[in-house]
Amino acid sequence: MLLTTIWVTNGNRLAKRQLCGLSVLQQDFQGPQVGRFFSSSQPIQNLCISQVVLRSGSRGPECAFCSSNRSPEIAFGYTENVASIIEYALVRLRRLFSQLSYVPRGLAMVWAAAPGWTLAWTAVLVAQGLLPIATVYLTRALVNDLVAAIRSGGAWAAMRPTLVAAGCLAGVMVATELLRGLATWLRTAQSELAYDYITGLIHQKSAAADLAFYEMPEFYDHLHRARAEAVYRPILLVESLGSLLQNGITMIAMVAVLVPFGPLLPIALLISTAPALYLVLKSSLHRHEFAHRSTTMERQTWYYDSLLTSGDSAAELRLFDLGGYFQTVYKSLRRQLREGRLKLVRQQGVAELWASLTATAVSGAALVWMVSRAIRGLISLGDLALFYQAFSQGLGLARSLLENIGRLYENSLFLGNLFAFLELQPQIAAPPHPANVPVSIREGIRFHNVSFRYPASQREVLRGFNLTVKPGQMVAIVGPNGAGKSTLVKLLCRFYDPAEGAIEIDGVPLRDFSPQELRRHISVLFQQPMHYDASAAQNISYGDRDVSDPGAVRAAAASAGAVEFIQRLPQGFETNLGKSFIAGAELSVGEWRRLAMARTFFRAAPILVLDEPTSMMDPWAEIAWAERLRRFAQGKIVILITHRFTTAMFADLIHVMSDGRIVESGKHDDLIAAGRFYAQGWAAQVDA
């Protein structure tokens, strides 16, 4: 037998890696770490324990820990075989108990969601745990009374205790069924409340997460694990504990019943189920490791499933004949997941077979011994029936307890995914004492020597960027793709913080404001605005949920030039849009964009940012829109981000961006006369 593993003392999770040709299990190391390595090159009787010194950033193409073909520095030492196994077992036990630390937190979640239902459900479980004890004793009484009645020739005096025992047993059976139904009802109510509570926590965390999280695949893995598995794990955890409580009460009673027949019987009962304990813990760990490894693949199957079934991709799917290709990719991913799960089930099934054979042999030996005692007259038939029921129920209960422990451990493993997601902390946070965001801006907005790169990117989007926008001014920012124009919007809304420099409103850095309060003073038309499956009026009013004024909704639609097409809809502003849920009207791309612009105008914010506002407009509509914007934006700071020079010309001041900097500024006529970047772009668009 060969052992291959590696861990660190302060780590919990193990992940498979390659160490200079040796397959190992490796913790995700950060900084210098010292771990223990069980060499796979030595058999267990000569087990080699190595001290492996791991250095941060030393992974390479040949080795997970070093950049060359040579092994990292290893100090070899040898210990006795038993000590090695004990140390390995202790590491696994520490890992087990570290995972069980999630159990109290999971219980606290369920209690917070449904305290009353949880108390009632627990009381029912205790009653269910006590009823089997009554069943066992009533069965013994019934058998003994029945034997006495038969020997008396059916005399009424002998039959009366039999009927009483039978009636009591029937009453217990009816109570068992009633409690089972009541427990199901209580558990369903508890589950629904807990599901809603935990889903709310996930939604709250998703809404509060930094925008930067949504640009990292690791965040989507965390989110997928939380949504796909962990959201219902707390209730499964409670169910496992409930079954553990119920079965534990019954098990203790059954052991008490078996003790008078001999102290070895309870010990035999426990020994017969010992192999199953190891198997349930091992299989739970393997299922969790497989789920963790396959998270990205699972998300890919969801992605291809959405491509094959979504209306957004339906047109291209048919035009480019992509349906067959995406189905092939989906089936390939599903096959890999299916084979992985089947392999786990196959391995678990073989192991469970051996565990069951062991349990059957032990229980069979105990039964033969008790039958022999009954034949010799040492116990009555009622005692034998009592033993058989107690031992068989005890055996089943012991297996159930082990399964409950296994499910408890498995659920605690998956709860780690939920708590890992909920513990993600946004980096964009309010200071302890935030400054007030000015309602009326007096000095303007200033970008001062701002440099910025996106997370996990080495390219600087902005480098030493400087820009000042005065109060009441409408400025346009133009430039090629990738110049950093849209990044300015994200920084101004403080979705990100710059790496260097500062952004100020009236001389106060954005970091001094509460992000939520800052964003209430900014209204933005994003480059790719959302299409909400709701009424036209709701699509507009989402711009400010604190305002419920139909007149303001219509005014915002008028400023965006959206009234005409909204009034043509079957129910006007109350017409439902989109096809996802109910039979609603569908808009053109340009109409959706005007609706989003109306949503932007609906918010009475002193700062207005429009990213490509006229990208779907014809020249005549663009002129009318510019006139409406002038009237609407009186006294506001307006920032237009655009590729269209015919839109930029309406601004008070035009800034040309290139390579993360302002390279030219001025009014339209002055920039044309200068004959530089702006003039060249204008000529190119006019000639086109």
Q: Is the pLDDT of residue 82 over 60?
A: no
25/35 Cα distance (integer angstroms): 11
Q: Is the pLDDT of residue 458 over 50?
A: yes
Mean pLDDT in residue range 117-135: 84
**pLDDT tens digits, residue range 157-212?**
777 888 888 888 888 889 888 988 898 888 888 888 888 888 888 888 888 878 87
Q: Is the pLDDT of residue 578 over 80?
A: yes
Q: Which of 12-21, 137-146, 334-343, 501-510 has the least mean pLDDT?
A: 12-21
Residue spans per domain, the chain: 5-99, 103-306+345-422, 528-602
pLDDT tier at 419 (50, 70, 90 boundaries)? confident
Strand bridging mode 5-7 / 508-509: unpaired
Q: Is the pLDDT of residue 15 over 60?
A: no
The strand pairing partners of 639, in sequence order, are 475, 609
**pLDDT tens digits, residue range 358-408?**
667 776 776 777 677 777 777 666 666 666 666 666 666 666 666 666 666
The pLDDT assigned to 31 comes to 32
The pLDDT assigned to 97 comes to 60
pLDDT tier at 40 (50, 70, 90 boundaries)? very low
Assigned CATH class of 528-602: alpha beta
pTM of the model: 0.65
Higher-confidence position of 47 and 391: 391
Q: Is the pLDDT of residue 300 over 60?
A: yes
Q: Which CATH number fits domain 103-306+345-422: 1.10.645.10, 3.40.50.1110, 3.30.930.10, 1.20.1560.10?
A: 1.20.1560.10
Closest CA to 518 of 487, 494, 486, 542: 494
The pLDDT assigned to 213 comes to 76
The pLDDT assigned to 71 comes to 33
Backbone CA torsion sign across 84, 89, 94, 99:
positive
Mean pLDDT of the chain: 76
Higher-confidence position of 683 and 416: 683
Asked if domains 103-306+345-422 and 528-602 share a fold, the reply is no
The pLDDT assigned to 48 comes to 32
The pLDDT assigned to 398 comes to 64
Closest CA to 257 of 265, 246, 245: 265
State the SS3 of 484-500: CHHHHHHHHCCCCCCCE
Mean pLDDT in residue range 668-679: 90
Helix ranges restricted to H, 376-447: 381-422
Q: Is the pLDDT of residue 38 over 60?
A: no
pLDDT tier at 16 (50, 70, 90 boundaries)? very low
pLDDT tier at 98 (50, 70, 90 boundaries)? low
- Nearest-5° angle of CA 145, CA 147, CA 148? 65
Higher-confidence position of 22 and 427: 427
The pLDDT assigned to 75 comes to 30
